[in-house]
Structure 1
Amino acid sequence: MLRTRYILLLLFLVPLLVAGFFLEKRYGKPNQLHQSQQLRQLIQKGEFQDGDLIFHTSRSAQSKAIQLATKSAYSHCGIIYKTAGGYQVFEAVQPVSSTPLDKWVARGEGGHFVVKRLKNAKQVLTPSALARLKKEGGSLRARDTTCTLNGQMTKSTAQN
């Protein structure tokens, strides 16, 4: 009788633990609310600048392969820039697009991200250089990121 109860308990608990693991991987840890508050504070303090590079570990299927190939803890990156609507991350997703910073951060594992800035950003990322960067990014917007095995684009759906 006691053995039957233990078996039933295990049959109940194991699926819950497995479901919890997959839900956490898919939707992140409960502390993401706290992390989104920290992100808002960083934005309010003006910690981000146009041209900053942002990195995180994606929860996509190819993330681990990218990490192994690059020997990096991170598998996805983008370029931060400010618009009238707030900060955006220009990224090579399917298709190439801009994503609001808070949504981009939330897609990463645990909401963790790292921002890097060029040491000589003030000299290199002049207003004209940033304008050229944004223009070039705009020409890539909506482009298909699907590649063949030899690394060539299979098709381009640029709408510019």
Structure 2
Amino acid sequence: MAAPVDPREVQSLQTYLNQYTQQAEVYSRQLGMMEEGIREANASIETLKALAEAGEAPVFMPIGGGLNIRATIIQPDEVFVSIGSDIIVQKTNEGAISYLQDRIKEMEATAKNLTEVLQKIDAQVKDIQKRLEQLYRQAQAEQQGAGSL
């Protein structure tokens, strides 16, 4: 006969399960931010390419709230890139595209790492859930056995 279910083990496993679930949520949000950053960078690359081809043609510039104004890009080869800490550097159109492509590679690598971590957490969560199910079944069997005495 198996040893009786230790409530401390059940409580400990539930605590671990909650912690892993919270970690997974944090990593999932980070992964979502990476994916959004990649989409945004790709859209910016396409916009920069279109501007380079269009030259000084008028464009619609979004100003927020679903509003756009017609604007003319006077120097489509001058791009100002925010590199963090309120620092902005001027790059050529091609330089900005190259910068964005490098950022995409970095974000893809980070996303890959986050995905791997999430897979490990998922495996741990499944192991804990399996053990908890075993303990619950064992506890039910113990209760039924005690009730038949």
TM-score by length of 2: 0.30
Higher RCO, Cα 8 Å, sep 6+: 2
TM-score by length of 1: 0.29
Normalized per residue, which structure has more helix? Answer: 2
